Amino acid sequence: MTNSTPVPTPTELTPPDILRCAYMEIVVTDLARSREFYVDILGLVVTEEDENAIYLRSLEEFIHHNLVLRKGPIAAVAAFSYRVRTPEDVDRAEAWYQALGCRTERNRDGFVNGIGDSVRVTDPLGFPYEFFYSVEHVERLAWRYDLYGPGALVRLDHFNQVTPDVPRGRKYLEDLGFRVTEDIQDEDGVTYAAWLRRKDTVHDTALTGGDGPRMHHIAFATHEKHNILYICDKLGALRKSDVIERGPGRHGVSNAFYLYIADPDGHRVEIYTQDYYTGDPDNPVVTWDVHDNQRRDWWGNPVVPSWYTEASLVLDLDGEPQPVIARTDASEMAVTVGADGFSYTRKDDTVEGFKLGNTL
Ligand SMILES: [Fe+2]
């Protein structure tokens, strides 16, 4: 197991009441190229822009933005930002992370346009997290079908973070109020990934085991599967099929339909649709066997190696890249095929249900 100390629980404090993942701030090296990708190709809506930053939102969003593209020297993630229920929850977040011994910074005017009083922290896993309540409202374009393209992105759905020690991160996020929806384990008790939620979908963020802290992807939701197929067709027509990394396909975990693409700096974006409702307090946790060929792709299609190995750097509160710490637990890419040389489609069907692990 990874040799890292557990994150303490501030038992005397109340954690902030987190509503949902709200936006990500990413640093891009060429603002014009990134604008072409996110606005011209993917159709995100520009709320505001200047020579240094572009503020983008999805079509159903009513807060100022879901994505900030900021021009900078090193492609990285500056903030994973969550909205909290009340202004007092920003105070609770600040106190929570101070109790954890984390560096925090409070800005009553907000760190970015459109957002008010916020706290940014370097969390115990090394990620730049932000919490805010106050925000500028903008027009919700849900009914503006004149603006919809056939690949319309309607909501920010989730983040995905790479961290070496998934159980350590899971416990810290559960203390913070997240609930686990699904995970991937093996018979030896190693956890390879976990999906955690605040809103009533499968997740607001996921922890993927690997060298970290790094950002694995940011996911936007579309309404239906055909929207994702259109995006694939459009990328083909633009002779940009090389930005498609994985998919389209159906996930086992989350049951969602998916596509993974890479922006001009290599930041991974998932297009995602049709996961399930998780709002009941006794929503059952789904655990997948790491050797199950259908966990990552319900149709058993291979996961490309880059999907396991590539991810974006994240920044500290001074804007410097966080050092990446190697995972010491087994890697999912390495163990997908078990020691016997097989993974499975039907676990107990030893005649035909096993197959060579072409998921590598
Ligand atoms: Fe995802």
pLDDT digits (tens, 9 = 90+) for 218-274: 999 999 999 999 999 999 999 999 999 999 999 999 999 999 999 999 999 999 999
Q: Is residue 81 part of a domain?
A: yes
Give me ligand 1 centre to Cα 349, in Å.
30
End-to-end CA separation in angstroms for the chain: 23
Average pLDDT over residues 287-302: 93
Give me ligand 1 centre to Cα 350, in Å.
32
Give me ligand 1 centre to Cα 217, in Å.
7
User: Does residue 341 register a pLDDT over 80?
Assistant: no
Q: Is residue 3 part of a domain?
A: no
Give me ligand 1 centre to Cα 26, in Å.
17
For 208, residues 6+ apart whose C-beta sits below 8 A from its C-beta are 160, 161, 162, 163, 166, 192, 193, 216
Q: Is residue 126 part of a domain?
A: yes
Number of separate domains in the chain: 1
User: Does residue 164 register a pLDDT over 60?
Assistant: yes
User: Does residue 3 register a pLDDT over 80?
Assistant: no
User: Does residue 359 register a pLDDT over 50?
Assistant: no
Residue 181's pLDDT is what? 98
Q: Is residue 335 part of a domain?
A: no
With CA atoms as reference, report the closest residue to 95 among 121, 116, 115, 133: 121
Tokens of 343: 């993974």
Give the tens place of pLDDT for each residue, 191-201: 999 999 999 99
β-strand pairing of 214-221 with 257-262: unpaired
CB atoms within 10 A of CB 318: 8
User: Does residue 2 register a pLDDT over 80?
Assistant: no
User: Does residue 356 register a pLDDT over 60?
Assistant: no
With CA atoms as reference, report the closest residue to 313 among 322, 305, 303: 322
Looking at residue 142, what DSSP letter applies? T
83 and 74 in contact (C-beta within 8 Å)? no
Give the tens place of pLDDT for each residue, 16-70: 999 999 999 999 999 999 999 999 999 999 999 999 999 999 999 999 999 999 9
User: DSSP secondary structure string, 229-286?
Assistant: HHHHHHHHHTT-GGGEEEEEEE-STT--EEEEEE-TT--EEEEEE------STTPPPE
Range name among 37-41, 207-211, 344-348 with the lowest pLDDT average? 344-348
Average pLDDT, the chain: 95
User: Does residue 360 register a pLDDT over 60?
Assistant: no
**Residue 355: pLDDT band by 50, 70, 90 thresholds?**
low
Looking at residue 199, what DSSP letter applies? S
Q: Is residue 47 part of a domain?
A: yes
Q: Calculate the dihedral angle through the C-alpha atoms of 263, 267, 272, 278, rounding to the nearest 10 degrees.
A: -160
**Residue 168: pLDDT band by 50, 70, 90 thresholds?**
very high
With CA atoms as reference, report the closest residue to 268 among 309, 238, 233, 297: 309
Q: What is the C-alpha to C-alpha distance for residues 34 and 40, in angstroms, rounded to an integer?
A: 9
User: Does residue 308 register a pLDDT over 50?
Assistant: yes
Residue 339's pLDDT is what? 63
Give me ligand 1 centre to Cα 159, in Å.
7
User: Does residue 338 register a pLDDT over 80?
Assistant: no
Percent of the chain with pLDDT over 70: 95
Give me ligand 1 centre to Cα 80, in Å.
14
Residue 337's pLDDT is what? 73
For 13, residues 6+ apart whose C-beta sits below 8 A from its C-beta are 92, 95, 96, 99
Q: Is residue 84 part of a domain?
A: yes
The residues facing 67 across adjacent strands are: 24, 56
More confident: 334 or 112: 112
Give me ligand 1 centre to Cα 109, in Å.
31
Q: Is residue 337 part of a domain?
A: no
Residue 163's pLDDT is what? 98
Give the sign of the dihedral formed by CA 40, CA 41, CA 46, CA 48.
Answer: negative
User: Does residue 155 register a pLDDT over 70?
Assistant: yes
User: Does residue 349 register a pLDDT over 80?
Assistant: no
Q: What is the C-alpha to C-alpha distance for residues 300 and 307, in angstroms, rounded to an integer?
A: 15
User: Does residue 1 register a pLDDT over 50?
Assistant: no
Q: What radius of gyration do the chain's Cα atoms show?
A: 20
Give me ligand 1 centre to Cα 151, in Å.
18
Q: What is the C-alpha to C-alpha distance for residues 137 and 121, in angstroms, rounded to an integer?
A: 24
Give me ligand 1 centre to Cα 69, in Å.
20
Looking at residue 1, what DSSP letter applies? -
Range name among 50-64, 175-189, 329-343 with the lowest pLDDT average? 329-343
**Residue 357: pLDDT band by 50, 70, 90 thresholds?**
low
Give me ligand 1 centre to Cα 161, in Å.
10
Domain holding 256, by residue range, is 18-314
Give me ligand 1 centre to Cα 160, in Å.
6
197: CATH: 3.10.180.10
Residue 347's pLDDT is what? 83
222 and 171 in contact (C-beta within 8 Å)? no
User: Does residue 144 register a pLDDT over 80?
Assistant: yes
The residues facing 205 across adjacent strands are: 159, 196
Q: Is residue 184 part of a domain?
A: yes
